[in-house]
Amino acid sequence: MQRRSLGENSGVEVSVIGLGAMPLSLSDKPGEAEGIRVIHAALDAGMTLIDTADVYCVDERDMGANERLIREALARWPRRAEVVVATKGGLVRPGGAWISRANARHLRAACEASLRALGVDAITLYQLHAPDDDVPLEESVGALAELRREGKIVHVGLSNVNAGELARARAIVPIVSVQNRLSVMDRGDLRSGLVDLCAQEGIVYLAYGPVGGAHGKRRVAADPTLSAIAAARGVSNFQVALAWLLARSPAILPIPGASRAASAADSAGAAALRLSEAELAALAAAFPG
Ligand SMILES: NC(=O)c1ccc[n+]([C@@H]2O[C@H](COP(=O)([O-])OP(=O)(O)OC[C@H]3O[C@@H](n4cnc5c(N)ncnc54)[C@H](OP(=O)(O)O)[C@@H]3O)[C@@H](O)[C@H]2O)c1
């Protein structure tokens, strides 16, 4: 599969489409053996980036569940060294809720727990999951900078940030990635210029919810314009939605989620799909804004 730099100065290259592992560990997760099968299907199809987080779990009692599943899957994978696992810290899951906790003390403990869950000495890409309204961003990013100095993190990324927050973070530590919601239906960061900024600055933009997430995926499956292009090309509507993202910027690297091996394999196929100008124009008209 075609590759993309994980941030221009990182020296790390990964597949242009990565696996979003979240659906493998939330409350409607598949069993562990099936979860491992999904991860192996993604790797078999050429993906070399897996996105996870300590909070991809049911609630606070199984924090790290998704990271442990990935560790297990990679232990049975012959080319482990080729795979980059990107994780995140800065949220907690009391009673299954999603709550920010990005103070320096928590981030240190979270990063150390992720190192144990993943079974590694250093995390190639560690992302602040989201800014915490109760903690200055400088404290959160400063904590990640310190973990980087100690060698526990190789590269720092941010998630759920705007351009102003990215600039504040970059004043403290090099940022190689931004992970925000982006899809054909949800184009805020294209409109705001954040994607272009990432492209200019050599920062990779990890597009989450790239087929609309658990709810939007139904719209992708049913949309007539996506369906017409997909039928003409003999591909799935999901592949068209992912190829649209790849066509929008050299900075974008979609990380579609999957709880079925067939979804992971299908998504990987989008890397080979080049949409024509006419197809891109049809999609622009069908999804205005
Ligand atoms: N940073 C953040 O705050 C944040 C927030 C949300 C997600 N994320 C990350 O981004 C990843 C992706 O986001 P997401 O999982 O919410 O949304 P998504 O990728 O837009 O949608 C995932 C769902 O779409 C289905 N799907 C995806 N590709 C498909 C295909 N080719 N064919 C058929 N079905 C397909 C999957 O179905 P099946 O389940 O049936 O396989 C899956 O349940 C997550 O896994 C996570 O790693 C990050």
**Is 89 a member of any domain?**
yes
Q: Does 258 map to a domain?
A: yes
Mean pLDDT, range 88-110, rounded to an integer: 98
- Entry pTM: 0.98
Domain that holds residue 86: 3-216+249-274
pLDDT in tens, 113-161: 999 999 999 999 999 999 999 999 999 999 999 999 999 999 999 999 9
* 214 band by pLDDT with thresholds 50, 70 and 90: confident
Looking at residue 289, its pLDDT comes to: 66
User: Nearest to residue 129, comparing CAs of 145, 110, 149?
Assistant: 110
Taking the C-alpha atoms of residue 168 and residue 56, their distance in angstroms, rounded to an integer, is: 27
Please determine, for residue 25, whether its predicted confidence score (pLDDT) is greater than 90. yes
* Catalytic residue flag (residue 56): yes
Q: Is residue 281 part of a domain?
A: no
Q: What CATH number is given to the structural domain containing 78?
A: 3.20.20.100
DSSP assignment letter at 96: G
Q: Confirm whether 32 is domain-assigned.
A: yes
For residues 239-253, give the mean pLDDT: 97
CA distance linking residue 94 with residue 246, whole number of Å: 36
- Whether 237 is in a domain gets the answer no
Cα–Cα nearest to 238, from 175, 181, 281, 183: 183
Counting the structural domains of the chain, the total is 1
Q: How far is the CA of 257 from the centre of ligand 1 (A)?
A: 3
Quick one: pLDDT band at residue 199, thresholds 50, 70, 90? very high
CB of 212 closer than 6 angstroms to any ligand 1 atom: yes
285 found inside a domain: no
What is the average pLDDT score of the chain?
A: 96
- Tell me, yes or no, whether 226 lies in a domain: no
Residue of the nearest CA to atom 44 in ligand 1? 20
Structure tokens at 7: 């941030």
CA–CA separation, 165 and 157 (whole Å): 12
